[in-house]
Structure 1
Amino acid sequence: MTATNKITQLLNIKYPLIQAGMIWASGWKLASAVSNAGGLGIIGSGSMYPEVLREHIQKCKKATNNPFAVNVPMLYPDIEKIMEIIIEEGVKIVFTSAGNPKTWTKHLQDNGIKVVHVVSSVKFAMKSEEAGVDAVVAEGFEAGGHNGRDETTTFTLIPMVKEKISIPLIAAGGIATGRGMLAAMVLGADAVQVGSRFVATPEASSHPNFKNMVVNAKEGDTVLTLKELAPVRMLKNKFYEEIQELYSKAPSKEELIKLLGRARAKRGMFEGNLDEGELEIGQISGLIHEIKPAAEIVEEMISEFETAKKEVAQF
């Protein structure tokens, strides 16, 4: 790995490999394991009440001496309290998503925090740079969970974003191997963010039922749906069939909201209800075949990255 990488320098990490802040999957155990292995672990605050987040940050600080981050979806109702806790607890890196980066970037930076914003389009990458963020994550629609409406793939999004911004760029969506990491970096990324692969780890806080379903997923088992609300990629299951049935009746937005109800993602990913839950995972799940420790995943990805780099050099 090169020592002059923009992202490793910016975030003070060994490898340009970041674990995504995933709802119901990334608590302090996963974040500290990835950080200890030389990547950047992220606590996903989207499923946490403020005091629960504080507890996770404190436990993460005890479990690793390396940098880690907190991901904050800006649609969060208690966002003022969340940001206050992040500052009080001395977190040094924040990944913001699902909102206007202008709102919190300066305030966080004034408190010595590096800010990275997650986007799904060139337009929002440019707006993020204007807002003064330190780096952006550009996420293709292969990614699990909430997603861009334009269905731009990672392979096309990364070079288009690279052409328009000058700040460091992190690629996300459909990356779970060292080869995928190299491909993203050849296209112009300075680092990669990996979500789905880290769900299938003992350290992920998601339910074993969900982890096993991810490991057994094949190509075509995920789908991007509910675009009228907020596009989400998830595994096909009974709940998805109910969505399809409702779509056949040309539903109103209100009817879709009623079907979605509350806490669908928690029910599936955290409580393990594989029929009624919203099972958010990326297309790359078709390439994930076993549950293994986060440190092993980091090690394997970096090793495969180096091997692939040598192979490509011989082309």
Structure 2
Amino acid sequence: MALSVTELLVFSLLQTALSLNPEDPNVCSHWESYAVTVQESYAHPFDQIYYTRCTDILNWFKCTRHRISYKTAYRRGLRTMYRRRSQCCPGYYENGDFCIPLCTEDCVHGRCVSPDTCHCEPGWGGPDCSSGQCFSNEGCDSDHWGPHCSNRCQCQNGALCNPITGACVCAPGFRGWRCEELCAPGTHGKGCQLPCQCHNGASCDPRTGQCLCAPGYTGVYCEELCPPGSHGAHCELRCPCQNGGTCHHITGECACPPGWTGAVCAQPCPPGTFGQNCSQDCPCHHGGQCDHVTGQCHCTAGYMGDR
């Protein structure tokens, strides 16, 4: 059976997400939502007719009464689900199963080692490794500079040194005369000139700019709350709440629905109370018990009425 254009696009996206290695430091991931159709049950009200004894002699002492009853019915509805989506971090592009750094200018005599950063072959320099810097027939290697390559480079953290002056060209994420310091918080990249774009208290990797989300947040820029049912660091902790309770996206603390209480919403309201936070008093008389969620009275034998 032929697939539609939409199905082919979805299949392609799923293949892309599955092909990337999540252990690759250049792969970023975020949560995305999608809707599925489910069959759900609900209480369907209907008018129930019954007879009681009364003083109406014309109806043989039987009177008609009505009451609202409920039965279980089913209907189709939409439920929001969540899945993790992987993609290459900013400054990288997909090549097979890997995320490869992107240099907007080709590295003429070198190779691209990180976004817009070339690692030049011995004796070559410049942003795109196109400037010849030879001082001997073979040129200086990456650890030496100066006439006849007699001086040793002092650069650190993978930095390159200019073969003429010995000045350090820092790798992305580092600064300082010898490239011995990380970029200041809130900056990243080559020359520490790029601002971090992360939200909600997240920090960014000084080399790549990848956002390191604070507990309770997810997304490429940490702009999204953890999906329902999860919380904490990397949204990896499962929500412990029961009976429809929802947990705080950071702490996991449960917010209970009406009629329930306890640390994980596992306990019904104490007798005599009902509703949100069990804060309402039961209105029933003559020993009647009220529903801990709605407050509806369940009468003891011999009594009837709303209360």
TM category, shorter:
under 0.3
Higher relative contact order (CA 8 A, sep 6+): 1
Larger of the two Rg values belongs to structure: 2
Which of the two has greater helix per residue?
1
TM (normalized to structure 2)?
0.20
TM (normalized to structure 1)?
0.20
Which of the two has greater strand per residue?
2
